[in-house]
Structure formats: structure tokens, C-alpha cells
């Protein structure tokens, strides 16, 4: 920062001693050279041209924009999936954000997830201002905040967005990472542009890979190009033993989509998807067997989501030839700028929920065209619970819950994809919801009591049916149990497990179990309405 400040004042940066690259040793002075050495040195110093630092222009342009970068303080209170009737102990975090037009601030969604209080602090200020969260976009990992206090907005110019940078373009990431309280500047270049896996959002969207360090606390900070325009938001880094300094930035097309989505509907509606699974058509025998001509290319539809609008027109083994008039290659890519290609899901992510797309397909050697309405993904096991408390229902000590990715992560840790039960993982990775309200209901745990003796070891096993009727979702199960007039409560579970309880005694024992464990209610608020 000191070096950057000296550049801002227009002075050349003084040569650094510590850690500098080794120089060639100076030649020994010739005999008789001492006479007039001082005069020669003076003359040589006058002849040496003042060399501008290589990145002076870039840093000078970023400097005025730095005042728009803010520090975000958040107090989080996460849901407790082991004890769903209460929340975990609150904790605090800090991250970065930046001011954009319309009295708004952007940061990362994971910076304010499960927030109870958010405060912002401007650079050089000692005041923290209370912020209001306007929208959280979990898929794209962006959140939008605002501040009511007029004082916060005085003397700050909002950042302007630049276009998508090219490979090897210089970028400067500004934020408040760990290791200090003041602003931090790291610089690098764009090393890759492709469809990336957004870890927090469990989605794949366009992303930039840069070789600048993005550390904890940098999240939500802007990435500037050499003209001082914002070209992205820092949001994750690659932690691996074989990797150094690989950071990822959310690019402007994704940011603009989030902002315009909010402006259109007053809330975040998400990124639409084409509700299919597809396979590449690179094998020539496969193409021939599917009836593709030599000049036709595309991808084969493997499965169609039953809940997606596409289920009305697309079928398995259809070949998708083009999307919105852009031809799709056999490997699923489309042209992207000069000399580059990118996955065709990029085209879909550019659209908005509810918009229509023109799709051309090949079915039984005939070309068909459809205008398909695009919608967001309805997963059987949702990637997020969107800030809501988890649903639960308790009867006779059996705690019934809905499986979601946060639930699996809470139960089995960050390596849940290796440690969770195989049947739940199979549903997570491959199962498709048959109806919009379908949920995967499990017995999370059994609160031990005399009534449930012998069932103590049932943990995270799916409930398939109750008294012979298939379980659609948790509310459906709770309603069936509450309204049951039969003698027994019979729960059929995965792995052919059977739980049988006498209805009257089971319902009577529930209240005592709730009292013992200090549980306020037998079911969560959302099931009571």
C-alpha cells in the first residue's frame, strides 16, 4: 500500500533491498579512477532516465475507486439440524463489499448467510452503519444491501462496471482480508474464463480464474481492470496442495443478471436451467445411429426433469441442435468471443426465469422447433433452505426431517459426499422430483423413551410410506399421523425396516418427551399453517 501511495504521488518507486532479485556485483574501480569519481557519479545520476513503474497507471486509476470498498461485519445465527427446534450459538464474521449506484452495496451471499445483524464500515471511517439486506442470490453467491443513514453515502462515488475482461488482462482485487484491519490490494491477471462450479451455490455459472491471492475476508471485494472499472467480485479460492494463488471472481455478466433480476421483480428469482441431463455426441457411431447427418451437431437428451416445463415437449434421445439460434457442438460447447468456446449452459444462464427460449431438436431424423419457457431447478434434495429454519415433526420421540444439502453437511461434515449413506447420496446426485412439492423425509434421530424401545439406533433412514400410503413430503406425513384413527402407526422405511407403534400410547407419550428435552412444539411453524 505504501508503494502504491508513492506511485499515486507520481514519484518512481524506490528500489527495494529486502527480497529483491540478486543483481550482478559491481565492477571493481580501475586504478586512478578515484579522481573525479564523485563528479562522474553525479553526471551518471543526471543521465539515468526516470522509469515509470510498470503498473503505475493501473494503480492510480484504482485508487479513487477504493473509497467505495467497504468492510462488512455480520453476526450469523445458523440453524441447528441436530436440534431443529433451536439455533446454533451466534458467531461473527467480516468480509468486503462495494458501493454501486442507487444507494446499494454488493457483497457475497455467504458473507451474510443466516444473518441477524449486518453492519458496514467505510474506508478511513470509525463508524459502523446498520445495513438492510435487500436480496440474497445463493446460486450466484451475491447479496445486495442498503443503508438508511444518509451520512453513509456522503462523499462516495459508486463503482462503474466494466466489460468481461480478456485472458491476460490485469486485475486488481481490493478488500479487507485477514492479517490486518486496513484495505489490502493484490494484483494478477485473468488466467482462465469458463463455466465454474460455484461451491456455495452448488451451481455452475460463468467465472474468472485469476492468479491474485484471495484470502478469507477478501470475499465480496471488487476486482478492477486497468481503467478502474469493476469487472467482478472475489468469492472463492482453490485450496489444494498442488495449487498456489488461484482465486475466482464472479464476472460482470453474472453480476448484471443478479441486479437486473432484482430490479425486474423486486426480489431475486434465480438463474433458469434447461431441466434435462444430456450426453456428448462425439462418437461417430452414436451420431450415425441417432440419425445425424454429417453437417448436424448437437447433444443427446438422457433424462428430462418431470417438474420442468421442458417435460411437455422434450423427450429422452432427442438431439438438441441449437439454443436461441446458436448451434451446439457435439461436446456441448458454443462459440464464445474470438477463438474461444464455452459450455452451452452459459446461454441458458443469460436468460431470466419465465423467459422463453427457441430450441431446435432432431427426433427420429426430423427437425422440430419449440419455444420453451425456462424455470429454475426443483431439486429433490435442495441445495439451500434460503434462510428458513428447518422443518421437523416429532411423534413418540421419532424426529422426522427433510433432507437438504445443508442437512447432509451438518450431519456428515464438509466431506458429506463421501461419508453420507449411499442411498441418500444416490438420491442427492441422481434422483429427480416427480412433483413440485416432493420431499425426501427421514428419521433424523430417536429421542429415547420407554415407548420407542428397540428403535434407538434408527438414524437418517428414509420414510417411504405410512400405514401403506406413500409419503410425499413432511407436511403430508405429519397430517396423516395427526389424523390417524387406526390402532397402529406403521412406518415403512428404506432397507425394508418397519416401525410399529400403538397410536394412542405413542401420541400420549409425545408430550412427556417434548417436556424432557425442552422442546416447545411437536412440529415446526411451517407445518402448523
Here the cell at position 93 is 464474521
CA distance 300 to 321: 9
Other C-beta atoms closer than 10 Å to the C-beta of 355 total 12
Whose cell is 436440534? That residue is: 83
Here the cell at position 212 is 491474485
Q: Could you give the residue numbers annotated as active site? A: 110, 141, 219
The answer to whether the CB of 271 falls within 8 A of the CB of 257 is: yes
Question: Which of 165-169, 215-219, 423-427 is least confident?
Answer: 215-219
Condensed to tens digits (0 to 9), the pLDDT of residues 350-380 reads 999 889 999 999 999 899 999 999 988 888 9
Per-position DSSP letters for 427-458, written without gaps between them? HHHH---SSTT---EEEEEE---GGGTT-TT-
Question: Which residues of 390-511 form beta strands (DSSP E)?
Answer: 392-395, 398-402, 441-446, 461-466, 469-470, 488-493, 498-502
Q: What is the pLDDT of residue 523?
A: 94
- Burial (CB count <10 Å: 0-12, 13-18, 19+), residue 498: exposed
Asked whether residue 262 carries a pLDDT value surpassing 80, the answer given is yes
The CA-to-CA distance between both ends of the chain, in Å, stands at 56
Per-position DSSP letters for 331-376, written without gaps between them? TSEEE-STT-EEETHHHHHTS-TT-EEEEEEEETTEEEEEEEEPB-
Of 173, 175, 353, 182, nearest to 249 by C-alpha is: 173
Q: Which residues pair with 486 in a beta bridge?
A: none
Q: Which residues pair with 94 in a beta bridge?
A: 73
Mean pLDDT of 467-476: 95
Q: What is the mean pLDDT of the chain?
A: 86
Condensed to tens digits (0 to 9), the pLDDT of residues 394-438 reads 999 999 999 999 999 999 998 999 999 999 999 998 999 999 999
Condensed to tens digits (0 to 9), the pLDDT of residues 285-301 reads 999 999 999 899 999 99
Of 251, 257, 66, 58, nearest to 166 by C-alpha is: 251
Confidence of residue 445 (pLDDT cuts 50, 70, 90): very high
CA distance 423 to 444: 15
Domains of the chain: 64-153 (2.40.10.10), 169-265 (2.40.10.10), 276-374 (2.30.42.10), 392-527 (3.20.190.20)
Amino acid at each position: 500500500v505504501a508503494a502504491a501511495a508513492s506511485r499515486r504521488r507520481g514519484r518512481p518507486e524506490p528500489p527495494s533491498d529486502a527480497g529483491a532479485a540478486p543483481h550482478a556485483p559491481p565492477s571493481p574501480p580501475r586504478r586512478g579512477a578515484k579522481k573525479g569519481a564523485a563528479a562522474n557519479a553525479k553526471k551518471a545520476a543526471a543521465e539515468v532516465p526516470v522509469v515509470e513503474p510498470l503498473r503505475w497507471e493501473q494503480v492510480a486509476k484504482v485508487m479513487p475507486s477504493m473509497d467505495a470498498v467497504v468492510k462488512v461485519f455480520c453476526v450469523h445465527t445458523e440453524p441447528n439440524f441436530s436440534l431443529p427446534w433451536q439455533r446454533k450459538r451466534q458467531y461473527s464474521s467480516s468480509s468486503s463489499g462495494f458501493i454501486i449506484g442507487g444507494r446499494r452495496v454488493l457483497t457475497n451471499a455467504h458473507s451474510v448467510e443466516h444473518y441477524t445483524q449486518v453492519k458496514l464500515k467505510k474506508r478511513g471511517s470509525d463508524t459502523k452503519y446498520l445495513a438492510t439486506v435487500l436480496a440474497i442470490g445463493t446460486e450466484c453467491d451475491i447479496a445486495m444491501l442498503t443503508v438508511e443513514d444518509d451520512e453513509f453515502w456522503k462523499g462516495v462515488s459508486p463503482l462503474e462496471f466494466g466489460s468481461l475482461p480478456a485472458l491476460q488482462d490485469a486485475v486488481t482485487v481490493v478488500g479487507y482480508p485477514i492479517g490486518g484491519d486496513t484495505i489490502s490490494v493484490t494484483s494478477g491477471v485473468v488466467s482462465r474464463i469458463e463455466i465454474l462450479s460455484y461451491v456455495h451455490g452448488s451451481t455452475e455459472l460463468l467465472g474468472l480464474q485469476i492468479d491474485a491471492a484471495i484470502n478469507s475476508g477478501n470475499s465480496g471485494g471488487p476486482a478492477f481492470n486497468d481503467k478502474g472499472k469493476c469487472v467482478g467480485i472475489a468469492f472463492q479460492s482453490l485450496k489444494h496442495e498442488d495449487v498456489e494463488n488461484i482465486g475466482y471472481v464472479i464476472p460482470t455478466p453474472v453480476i448484471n443478471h443478479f441486479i437486473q433480476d432484482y430490479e425486474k421483480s423486486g426480489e431475486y428469482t434465480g438463474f433458469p436451467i434447461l431441466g434435462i441431463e444430456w450426453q456428448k455426441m462425439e462418437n461417430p457411431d452414436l451420431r450415425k445411429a441417432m440419425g445425424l447427418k454429417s453437417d448436424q451437431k448437437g447433444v443427446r437428451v438422457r433424462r428430462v426433469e418431470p417438474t420442468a416445463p421442458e417435460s411437455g415437449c422434450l423427450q429422452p434421445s432427442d438431439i438438441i441442435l441449437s439454443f436461441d439460434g446458436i448451434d451446439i457442438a457435439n461436446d456441448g460447447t458454443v462459440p464464445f468471443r474470438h477463438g474461444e468456446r464455452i459450455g452451452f449452459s452459459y446461454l441458458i444462464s443469460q436468460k431470466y426465469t419465465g423467459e422463453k427460449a427457441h430450441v431446435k431438436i432432431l427426433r427420429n431424423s426430423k427437425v422440430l422447433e419449440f419455444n420453451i419457457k425456462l424455470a429454475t431447478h426443483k431439486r429433490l434434495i435442495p441445495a439451500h433452505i434460503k434462510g428458513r429454519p428447518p422443518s421437523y415433526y416429532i411423534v413418540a420421540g421419532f424426529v422426522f426431517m427433510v433432507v437438504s444439502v445443508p442437512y447432509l453437511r451438518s450431519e456428515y461434515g464438509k466431506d458429506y459426499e463421501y461419508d453420507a449413506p449411499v442411498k441418500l447420496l444416490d438420491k442427492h446426485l441422481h434422483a429427480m422430483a416427480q412433483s413440485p412439492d416432493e420431499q425426501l423425509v427421514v428419521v433424523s434421530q430417536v429421542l429415547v423413551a420407554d415407548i420407542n424401545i428397540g428403535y434407538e439406533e434408527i438414524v437418517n433412514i428414509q420414510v417411504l410410506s405410512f400405514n401403506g400410503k406413500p409419503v410425499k413430503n413432511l407436511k403430508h406425513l405429519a397430517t396423516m399421523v395427526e389424523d390417524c384413527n387406526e390402532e397402529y402407526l406403521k412406518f415403512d422405511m428404506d432397507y425394508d425396516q418397519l416401525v410399529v407403534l400403538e397410536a394412542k400410547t405413542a401420541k400420549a407419550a409425545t408430550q412427556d418427551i417434548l417436556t424432557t428435552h425442552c422442546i416447545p412444539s411437536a412440529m415446526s411453524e411451517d407445518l402448523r399453517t
